[in-house]
Amino acid sequence: MNRLLNIWLIFTLVGMGLVSCENNNDWSGEGTLQLKIGVKGDIQVVQTRGETEPAPEETCVIKIYSSEGLIRKYTGIASIPGELQLSSGVYRTEASAGEAVPASFNKKYFYGETDFEIKAGQVTQTDLVCRIMNSLVKVNFDESVLNIFSTYEVTVATSAASLKIHPENQDSVAYFMLPSDNKKITWTLKATALNGSKFEHTGSFQAAATTRYDLNIAYKPDLTPEGGGSVTIEIDTTPIEVNESEVPVHLAPKISGVGFDILKGVQVETGNNNPLSFTVAGSSLIESLLIQCASFSNWGLPFNQIDLAQLTPEEAAVLAAAGLEVTGNDNELTGQSFKKITFTSALMQRITAVEASHSLTIRAVDSNEKSREVITGIHVSNATVSTLEPLAATIYTNRAVLRGEVIRESEGAYRFRYRMVGASEWIFADAQRSGNSLSAQLTGLTPGTNYEYQVMVGDVVSNVLIRFTTESAIQLPNAGFEDWSGSSPLLIYGAGQSMFWDSGNHGSATMKKNVTEPDETIKQEGNRSIRLKSQFVGLGIIGKFAAGNLFVGKYLKTDGTDGVLGWGRPFASRPKALRGYIKYRPGTVDYTTTDKIGKGETDQGIVYVALGDWAGESAEGEHWPVVVKTKSQQFFDPSENNAGTIAYGEYVLNANTEGEEMIEFTIPLDYRDTRKPVSLVLVASASRYGDYFSGSSGSTMWLDNLEFIYE
The pairing of beta strand 135-141 with beta strand 211-221 = parallel
8 Å CB contact between 681 and 626: yes
How many CA atoms within 13 Å lie on the side-chain side of 231?
A: 25
pLDDT at 238: 52
Q: CA-CA distance, 420 to 453, in Å (whole number)?
A: 9
What's phi and psi for 315, nearest 5 deg?
A: -65, -40
127: Cβ contacts below 8 Å, ≥ 6 apart: 36, 38, 114
Q: What is the mean pLDDT of residues 463-492?
A: 93
The CATH number assigned to the domain with range 2-132 reads: 2.60.40
Helix/strand/coil for 393 = helix
Rounded Cα distance, 231 and 222, in Å? 11
Interval 662-674 mean pLDDT: 94
Maximum CA extent, the chain: 111
Closest CA to 267 of 2, 463, 561, 435: 463
User: Global pTM?
Assistant: 0.55
At 148, phi and psi to the nearest 5? -115, -20
Tens digit of pLDDT for each residue in 101-130?
A: 899 988 888 888 888 888 766 667 677 777
What mean pLDDT do residues 146-170 have?
Answer: 84
- Provide the pLDDT for residue 243: 45
Are the C-beta atoms of residues 3 and 47 closer than 8 Å to each other?
A: yes
- What pLDDT is stored for residue 11 in this prediction? 26
528 pLDDT higher than 90: yes
| CB-based contact 544:618 (threshold 8 Å) | no
Most confident of 80-94, 371-385, 524-538: 524-538
Do residues 531 and 516 lie in contact, with contact meaning Cβ atoms separated by under 8 Å?
yes
Between 250-254, 340-344, 601-605, 706-710, the lowest mean confidence (pLDDT) is in 250-254
3-state secondary structure of 215: strand
Which of 36-50, 555-569, 662-676 shows the lowest per-residue confidence on average (mean pLDDT)? 36-50
Which has more confidence, 230 or 709? 709
Cα 325 to Cα 223: distance, rounded to the nearest angstrom: 25
Highest mean pLDDT among 34-43, 135-144, 614-623: 614-623
What does DSSP say about strands 371-380 and 266-268: parallel, antiparallel, or unpaired?
parallel
Question: What is the pLDDT, as a whole number, of residue 54?
Answer: 45
State the pLDDT confidence band at 28, using cuts at 50, 70 and 90.
Answer: very low
User: Which residues on adjacent β-strands are paired with residue 35?
Assistant: 13, 126
Percentage of residues in the chain with pLDDT exceeding 70? 84
Q: Please state, as a whole number, how many other Cβ atoms lie within 10 Å of the Cβ of residue 624.
A: 22
Whether 257-376 and 485-709 share one fold: the answer is no
Q: pLDDT class for 53, splitting at 50, 70, 90?
A: very low
Q: So where are the chain's domains?
A: 2-132, 135-249, 257-376, 385-469, 485-709
CA–CA dist 439, 405 (Å, integer):
8
pLDDT at 2 over 50: no
pLDDT in tens, 303-328: 899 999 999 999 999 999 999 999 98
Q: Quick check: helix, strand or coil at residue 33?
A: strand
pLDDT of residue 79: 65
Q: What's the pLDDT at 83?
A: 56
Between 3.90.1170.20, 2.60.40.10, 3.40.50.2300, 3.40.1350.10, what CATH number should domain 385-469 receive? Answer: 2.60.40.10
pLDDT averaged over the chain? Answer: 83
CA atoms within 13 A on the CB side of 328: 24
pLDDT-derived band at 222 (thresholds 50, 70, 90) equals: low
Fold (CATH) for 135-249: Immunoglobulin-like (2.60.40)
- Residue pair 291/339 in contact by the 8 Å Cβ criterion: no
> Topology of domain 257-376, per CATH?
Immunoglobulin-like (2.60.40)
Per residue, the 3-state secondary structure of 123-134, as one string, reads EEEEEEEEEECC
Q: CA separation (Å) from 596 to 535, 599, 604, 689?
A: 19, 10, 11, 8
Residue 225 has a pLDDT of 44
Q: How far is CA 262 from its chain centroid?
A: 30
Least confident of 49-58, 86-95, 159-168, 653-662: 49-58
CATH number attached to the domain at 485-709: 2.60.120.890
Collect all residues with Cβ–Cβ distance below 8 Å to 606 and sequence separation of at least 6.
650, 651, 652, 653, 683, 684, 685, 688
pLDDT value for 41: 43
Please provide residue 349's backbone torsions phi and psi, each rounded to the nearest 5 degrees: -65, -35
